Structure 1
């Protein structure tokens, strides 16, 4: 199989310090830049920052944070996880990524999606009744902007464009992924526009996403497109032993899941659910380097993925703990995954 690249994702979770005190939003953002720098130093392929507009998360403008990371890194690719395209303007999104691509020396990537949170819609004046139409139309316009030639376009959710040009121009374009939670129509739409597919696997066994992978391949063929990369986004945490990783992760994840679950009607998170999630049939990649490497290799092999991005921040864990997880991911897990997949 093709080489598998390992990356990192964070939603910009507001953390606590080593004494358990809540970190300020400003310090959290500075820490995220340091985490990107460490990811670069340990040889990881990608660092993605999510966009959110609520108190649990510090980052509402990912591209600014990524530009800061670009100035202190050399090789790691930088992008989002995800950009909420539905409540943004595709022209402005494209311009921001083209600018990030320039300052990073061609290392920008975009992961766009509808997002799993809705705060941005009323914040920026969008009606949730237009949820589907907003994403459909804006993705269509974003796809046309990739050619970096004048665009004529008309829809129902924003003003029309007539022979409009967009600046700055990139030197070689930049990769675009669509984050998909697992609906067939989303997979087909991603193939139709020729974007890479990023599967958000946050519950259940990765193997259950295999039909969506097969659908993506069939759809690309039907649309007359060449094969395109498939990636996996899943949460996790790494420590020296399984027990240490689980004890570090569970309290933060329980707090985070219960806070969000109270809004969405989820049952309380439990140790029993957590132990299922970290097991072979769960979507939580948490444990020792050996445990996490085996689970990544299995998921990658099962889905034929070319990239695995670990959502390494999951609630209010200390920055020092996250840094150790990143270090182990790059120095221990990555070589083990190579060996397990027969490339070491």
Structure 2
């Protein structure tokens, strides 16, 4: 069972002071967060790509590369790269470079993206949303194969029997498919035999995602892949503090503010304290509480959904850096040992 942190490198106004960090300040904070996650024994750190003022990470590979000389073991992944609006050749080269300088610790997690600002920025039409992803995933997977690449498609110039450099240290370079929970994505990932990541966020019961894992495994088995070797991850917002009360009250202000910004953008109902309290319940999608509370929820998710990796997304909205660092510290030193011991007991039962 792997445990890690994910971030979108938020730069929203602090709900208490109204101060907004510069992109440069927040990027430097994230490097410190990656270093701490490595020091406390977490397995992976993920950075999500965005192209808007309230997020600073338009180039996840470059940001994570800044932490490589300061870390020793933690894996570094996009979470996610918006492959539909990216050039797969450049994505592969960036992460092959990250893989080389990190000694084989890079991964690429790709998705369509629920934020679509990158499409007009890079000259793509949203009407091609699905087609773009399918075509570019096909190219990205071909780039992982050794030797020259010959490829042609509709949305990118053809590659006429050329080699792509640098080559990564890992062979093949890991590529995950991320999904917000559509059955089609589960079947696609399983059919391709790729690791699968589920975003479990919002007003949902995490246990309900067992259906998507079942579809994924069935598709993988049907395609002839060894299901036992396929990793399955989930990503959820959350926060760890010394007590449940400190965690609940510490995480609510930024979560409330950030969720309501998205509600306005998407034309959804406003987010209230009752929504938050429901989501932080044992059957909710927020992993907020003291180390025991958060560990029990992760163990339950492993047992009932079948995950092999859990990413805690913190912060949600902007929080004081010291609070985020303490949450990472507790997640690595207090939550992770409880989860690993709990899963060990399940296997022995």
The alignment's TM-score, normalised by the length of structure 2, stands at: 0.95
Measured after TM superposition, the shift of residue 343 of structure 1 is 5.3
> 1:289 matched to which residue of 2?
291
Measured after TM superposition, the shift of residue 149 of structure 1 is 2.2
Q: Is the 8 A contact 2:104 2:169 kept in 1?
A: yes
Alignment length, in residue pairs?
341
Match of 2:241 among 235, 239, 242: 239
CA-to-aligned-CA distance 1:37-90 (integer Å, 9 cap, x gap): 000000000000111111111111111110001121111001111001000011
Match of 2:314 among 309, 312, 315: 312
Q: Is the 8 A contact 1:15 1:28 kept in 2?
A: no
Q: How does 1:1-344 map to 2 (within 5 A)?
A: 4-14=1-11, 21-173=19-171, 174-203=173-202, 204-227=204-227, 228-342=230-344
260-269 vs 151-160, which moves further: 151-160
Measured after TM superposition, the shift of residue 164 of structure 1 is 2.0
Aligned mates of 1:125, 1:16 — CA distance in 2: 30
Aligned mates of 1:314, 1:69 — CA distance in 2: 22
**Secondary structure of 1:237 counterpart:** strand
Unmatched 5+ stretches in structure 2: none
**Secondary structure of 1:280 counterpart:** coil
Measured after TM superposition, the shift of residue 15 of structure 1 is 5.7
Change (3 A) 1:15 1:56: closer
Aligned mates of 2:241, 2:250 — CA distance in 1: 8
The alignment's TM-score, normalised by the length of structure 1, stands at: 0.96
CA RMSD, Structure 1 to Structure 2 (Å): 1.4
CA-to-aligned-CA distance 1:2-30 (integer Å, 9 cap, x gap): xx010110001116679662211100000
Q: Is the 8 A contact 2:96 2:169 kept in 1?
A: no
